[in-house]
Amino acid sequence: MSFPDLLPSLREKLPALRGRLTANEPLKPLTWFRVGGPAQVMVVPADEDDLAYLLSRLPSDVPVTMLGLGSNLIVRDGGVPGVVIRLGRGFSEVTVEDGHRIRAGTGVPDVKVARAAQDAGIAGLAFFRGIPGSVGGALRMNGGAYGGETKDVLVEARGVDRQGRVRVFANPDMHFTYRHCGVADDVIFTSALFQGTPGDPAEIAAAMEKITESREATQPIKSRTGGSTFKNPPGQKAWQLVDAAGCRGLVVGDAQVSELHCNFLINRGNATAADIETLGETVRARVKETSGVELEWEIKRIGLAG
């Protein structure tokens, strides 16, 4: 499907925008599941100033959706109305700062933060090796893996709100909880400052290698997947509840609950977004029926049904 073309009216309102605007941009190739419809308008701002300009002049009735690396995401088959923002080169810097700190743009993959810290002999950030997303996603979801969480290492984050104002959020301002950040959804994070501790590069490299080996052995990372599907309920593991409900290997259309790790859904090749979401909801219903536990989605779902 395609949306009505918003580009002419947006270009008129944004004459000084330096970034890229495209209409009906396919989102399928930009998500790990490889499913979903187009963005009505895709905007790739040049840098933080360009993003602030865009948001300050964008009509308030035009919905705005952020797209990171597409790892923890289902884009529905009908596509995403309004403006989808993707942060590119202007948000991809990683720098080492005094005091064992790393500053990173929110377009940076989490693994690059871990590698930069390892190269600089900064310990405490190796867990980012196990998060298959970007810094922006880690901020928004309090991303964590292998014993570490974003809340444990964040000093501050910068972001731009829907009015185009640049704001700085100290760690307490983020109101982090498990896989959640309490900052208003309309704030788009642009960079983050992380605090580590002195460490030995060889030891950090060894820790990262263990994480890599563990992921390869226990997760279907070579499949079209979206990472962990459901949040772990307090005191329980989502995968164990899914397994106990008899859902390991369950199939809907061309979507399947992974045989390797049953908190992962996979696209076997020709699944639609509807297949994957229906499979997830089927799993939730069976878990509720067998254990009484209502699993919460960890994967974000955006857009319109096809």
Please identify every residue annotated as catalytic.
179, 228, 298
- Do residues 184 and 150 touch, judged by C-beta distance below 8 A? no
Neighbour-count burial of 168, counting CB atoms closer than 10 A to its CB (0-12 exposed, 13-18 middle, 19+ buried): exposed
Tokens matching residue 153: 């290492």
Q: Measure the CA–CA gap between 195 and 105, rounded to whole angstroms.
A: 15
Contact 43, 83 (CB under 8 A): yes
Q: Using alpha carbons only, what angle is made at residue 38 by residues 33 and 41, rounded to the nearest 5 degrees?
A: 130
Q: Give the span between the Cα atoms of 280 and 7, in whole angstroms.
A: 35
Give residue for tokens 């403006």. 83
Q: How far apart are CA 26 and CA 299, in angstroms?
A: 20
Task: Report d(CA 178, CA 216) in Å as an integer.
Answer: 24
